[in-house]
Structure formats: C-alpha cells, structure tokens
Amino acid sequence: MRIALGGFQHETNTFVPETTGWVDFNTAGGWPPLTLGAAIIDTMAGRNLPAAGMIDEAMAQGIALEPLVWCQAEPGGMVELAAYERILQLFLEAIVDKGPFDAILLDLHGAMVVDGIGDGEGDFLRRFREAVGPEVMIAASLDLHANVSQAMVDNSDFMSAYRTYPHVDMAETGRRVARVLFDMLRTNKRLGKALVQLPYLIPIPAQCTLSEPTRTIYERLEGLERDHGVQLSFSPGFPPSDTADCGPTVIAYGAGTHHDAERLAHLLAEHVLQAEKAYSDDEVLDDRAGVMLAMSLAETATRPIILVDTQDNPGAGGSGDTTGLVKRLLECKAKGAVVAVLFDPTAAMLAHEHGMGARFDAEVGGRNGPAGVAPLKETFEVVALADGEFQGTGGFYAGATVDFGRLALLRIVDSDVAIVVGSRRSQAGTQAIFRHLGIDPGAQKIIGLKSSVHFRADFQSIAERILVVKSPGYNTADPSELPYRRIRKGIRLRPTASL
C-alpha cells in the first residue's frame, strides 16, 4: 500500500476583519509552522495531533507513509485566496512528485473559510479527488468544531472528528482514521455514508464534553457504534463562521448501504435535537458580575477562581489583546488577580528592554479588538521575564513545544492585578505559561484566561470555581448576536428552550 499523509488546518472566524495569510501558516505558536516532506514525521513525534496519531498507527501496523505537507495557522479571519492556492499547490505538486498513491490520510479542521471560495475543506477535498482520481481512497480527521459540508462527505471516503473538548483525543482521532482507512484498503470496500445537519447553533462554551448535555451525546454515540458496527461523528460546529454549512452535524459510515448509514445518523441526530433545551440553559456572566462573584468567592477559597475571557479566545479567532477583563478587575479593586495571555509584542519588548524590577508607562493591548476596545494605559512594573519555547502541560498541549515569543509578567502599579504579556497570539491553555515565568498558578486567588474550554485540560484540577464571562472580543459567546449573511435559512441562531 502506498499511502500519503498531509495536513491543512484553519478554524476561520469570518467576523474577524483581519485575514489569515501565508505568513500565518509559517509562524509557530501552539503548534508547528508549515512543514514539508520527511520532516513531518519528526515534527509530529510525541504530539497530541491527528497527524501524529496517523503516523503512530501506521508504524504499529508496519505501513510506510509518504509525508506531503502539514500546516496550521492560529484561528482567525478569512484565509486569503493566494495563501490557500499556494498551499494547495504544494500538495498537488507533492502528489505528482511522490505518487501514485493508493490512499491519502489528511489532518483537516472542517471550519476553514477561504476568501472567494467559502467552504475551504470542501474545495480542498474536491481538488484532491480530481488530482488523484476516483479509485484512490481519501480519509480525514476533523476538529470537533467542524462545520461539515456535503462537498466534504462527497469527496472523501471516511472522516472522523474529535470526541473531546478540550481536545485531548486529537492523536487518538488520527489513529482511528488510519485504522479505518487501512481496513478499507485491505478489503477494497468503501463504506456507506450519510450526513445530517442540525437546525440550531450551539455556543462554544456549551460544547465542552466534560459537561452536559454534550457528555451524554458522545456516550450515546459510542453506544450506537458498539450496537450497530457503525462509525459516527458528532461535530457541535463553529458558530462564528458565516457559511451555509455552519452548525452541528452528524456523519455516519457503515458496512451497509447509504440508507443504513442515514438511518443511524438520524438516530444520533435525534439525541442532539433532544438536547436543545439543555443547551439553552448554559450561562455566561457579564464581566462585572463575573469579577464581583470571583472576588467574593476568593475570600474563602483555597484554590484559584478562574475567569474565562471567552470572547477574546485566540483559539476561536479572538485578537488576544482586548483589555476589558483587566480593566474590570482594576475598577473592582480585585486582589491577587493575574490575566494571561495578553498579546502585545511591543509591550513584551519594552519590558525586556527595561529589565526586571523596572517601572514604565505604556499603552498595552487594545489595538486589534472590536470597536470600543482601547489600550490599557497604566504604569507597569516588570515582575518576571522569559524568552523562547517551553513544553506545554495538560492533555491539550501534551508533548507540544509552545512558543509565545517574549513573555513578561507585568504588575499594574498601585493595584494587585498583573498581566502576562506575550509576543505571539495563542490561547492560555497550559499552566506552563505561568510556571515558565516562575509563578505557581495554584497559589493565585483569581486567574483570568483568554480561552474558552481548552484551558480545562490543565487548569480544571486546580480551580475552586470556573466562571465564564463576556468581555468585548471577536469570539461572540451568543451566536444570535452575530450579523450572519450566508448561513442557511431556518437555522436557529441559539438553542431554544421550547419550540
């Protein structure tokens, strides 16, 4: 068997005005930059990424893979057409140079939107299919937040999405996809397949698989798989993506006909429909109410109270530099509070130039967020500095080398509030950010994190209480507040308690 391996990941927030270009796919952050050919094998070693799982499964089965291209850019605005075409061309050239192949393994996201094209993965898979022909089997991993289109299903033979959020099973998903592909190749049989798109959007914080009702949906998914010998995926979707295919989906693959797969897809979809009322109960606090509650709880808590700045989560396209939560902590005179990570390369550079213990006046952050967001103009004291890369901790960043560039811990003078300032936009998903700066996160009273759910893989164990708050940012917590123009007619923009 000659099998190619590649990956092309981007989670596109179409409401972010800045676009995602070639440089973004070549910039390291939470994950590696664009990588070509044989270097992919070494780059993926030990990481919690689908491509790593695919490689591990192939090695376990004694199957050689031919690596093509792997790239990922931090979630953000629309992918520029020129960047998309340039990366696609790298794939197509590698297929010609290294092929022919019996099958292709792909590490995709499922919510990429390309300027002038729209459905990024649908177009990518269509052009892949045209390049390799109808006989070559194509299997892909997808993110749990995929907005799955019919074009994606039609132009591939098997797709499977993550089943955890925080995504602690990315490598396992890659292994699952590889196992199914290898079995299809051995038997030379394709699976029946079906897609069901659900009629309501699920807010991102409510999609956490550690909580209900999402946890039970995945338990039912696995029960249906055991009982019926089917392969199922449930993707809650990525709401800040204004496309016709935005929203939750179920995909089913079975050894029978399309109708068999469709029946089982509808069985799981019915469970998702029944969960709509439970999803409507999800609560997000405004930042003032969240800060005041955190301060009250912190008075007697023995562990940190965590404030989740979900609307400025870089992992969903947030600019990472909004200042609303920090300003609210200052206004309320919070004690023992630290917020991470505020993206501002200039402030980080100034802190390093001034050095440990120095004080300097600056305007920090507030330059890239939505209208009304402004910089934090204060006097800052440099408490800690760090350079370079470090190893992530927790299930999400397991095995990953994380690179925030220059980091600085800055205390806002005449307050008990501090901020971690970084030079690369990436969400605060690991305690290692704090430990790298010499801070024990478990000893803090209040921790603000620019994340939505992934932080739970490393922080939930140390938290007394977790409060999700709304402060201005591009990752709008309530999808019904977004100005959709392309989403399909009839879809409910938030879960409804009663119809």
The per-residue pLDDT for range 312-362, each reduced to its tens digit, is 999 999 999 999 999 999 999 999 999 999 999 999 999 999 999 999 999
Residues 296 and 333 in one domain: yes
In terms of phi and psi (left: phi > 0; alpha: psi -120 to 50; beta: otherwise), the region of 16 is beta
Number of domains in the chain: 2
Burial class of residue 252, CB neighbours in 10 A (0-12, 13-18, 19+): buried
The per-residue pLDDT for range 468-495, each reduced to its tens digit, is 999 999 999 999 999 999 999 999 999 9
**Domain-ending residue, one of 280, 307, 324:** 280
Whether the per-residue pLDDT at 33 is higher than 60: the answer is: yes
Residue 30: predicted pLDDT: 80
Q: What would the two tokens of residue 151 be?
A: 């074009």
Answer whether 0.75 is exceeded by the pTM.
yes
Does any domain span residue 499? Answer: no
The per-residue pLDDT for range 262-317, each reduced to its tens digit, is 999 999 999 999 999 999 988 899 999 999 999 999 999 999 999 999 999 999 99
Burial class of residue 222, CB neighbours in 10 A (0-12, 13-18, 19+): exposed
The per-residue pLDDT for range 220-265, each reduced to its tens digit, is 999 999 999 999 999 999 999 999 999 999 999 997 778 889 999 9
Does any domain span residue 498? Answer: no
Residues 329 and 239 in one domain: no
Residues 401 and 453 in one domain: yes
Higher model confidence: residue 31 or residue 343?
343
Residues 374 and 275 in one domain: no
Q: Which domain holds residue 148?
A: 3-199+206-280
Residue 141: predicted pLDDT: 98
Residues 33 and 130 in one domain: yes
Cβ neighbors of 260 (< 8 A, separation 6 or more) are: 192, 254
Residue 498: predicted pLDDT: 65
Does any domain span residue 490? Answer: no
Q: What would the two tokens of residue 163 be?
A: 């089943």
Residues 399 and 456 in one domain: yes
The CA-CA-CA angle for residues 395, 230, 155, to 5°, reads: 85
**Domain-ending residue, one of 238, 259, 280:** 280
Residues 188 and 237 in one domain: yes
Give the Cα separation of 302 and 297 in Å (integer). Answer: 10
Residues 290 and 191 in one domain: no
Give the Cα separation of 384 and 408 in Å (integer). Answer: 6
- CB distance 55 to 7 below 8 Å: no
Does any domain span residue 380? Answer: yes
Cβ neighbors of 82 (< 8 A, separation 6 or more) are: 21, 22
Place of tokens 């070494």: 42
Q: What is the DSSP letter of 310?
A: G
- CB distance 236 to 162 below 8 Å: no
Place of tokens 């070509």: 36
Give the Cα separation of 310 and 476 in Å (integer). Answer: 8
Q: Average pLDDT, stretch 113-128?
A: 98
Residue 356, Cβ neighbours under 10 Å: how many? Answer: 12
- CB distance 193 to 151 below 8 Å: no
Q: Which amino acid is at 377?
A: K
Give the closest residue to 458 by CA, choosing from 166, 205, 207. 166
Residue 398: predicted pLDDT: 80
CATH number reported for the structural domain that contains residue 39 in this entry: 3.40.50
Burial class of residue 27, CB neighbours in 10 A (0-12, 13-18, 19+): middle
Residue 438, Cβ neighbours under 10 Å: how many? Answer: 11
Give yes or no for a cis peptide into 383 (omega within 30° of 0). Answer: no
Whether the per-residue pLDDT at 168 is higher than 70: the answer is: yes
Does any domain span residue 485? Answer: no
Residues 47 and 195 in one domain: yes
Does any domain span residue 152? Answer: yes
Cβ neighbors of 177 (< 8 A, separation 6 or more) are: 50, 53, 54, 105, 139, 140, 141, 158, 159, 160
The per-residue pLDDT for range 35-73, each reduced to its tens digit, is 999 999 999 999 999 999 999 999 999 999 999 999 999
The per-residue pLDDT for range 212-226, each reduced to its tens digit, is 999 999 999 999 999
Residues 178 and 240 in one domain: yes
- SS3 string, 416-429, reads CEEEEEECCCCCCC
Residues 94 and 55 in one domain: yes
Residue 256: predicted pLDDT: 77
**Domain-ending residue, one of 280, 299, 334:** 280
Does any domain span residue 372? Answer: yes
Give the closest residue to 105 by CA, choosing from 18, 8, 218, 26. 8
The per-residue pLDDT for range 363-420, each reduced to its tens digit, is 999 999 999 999 999 999 999 999 868 999 999 988 788 889 999 999 999 999 999 9
Residues 347 and 289 in one domain: yes
Does any domain span residue 497? Answer: no
Residue 499: predicted pLDDT: 57
Is the alpha carbon torsion for 423, 428, 429, 432 positive or negative? positive
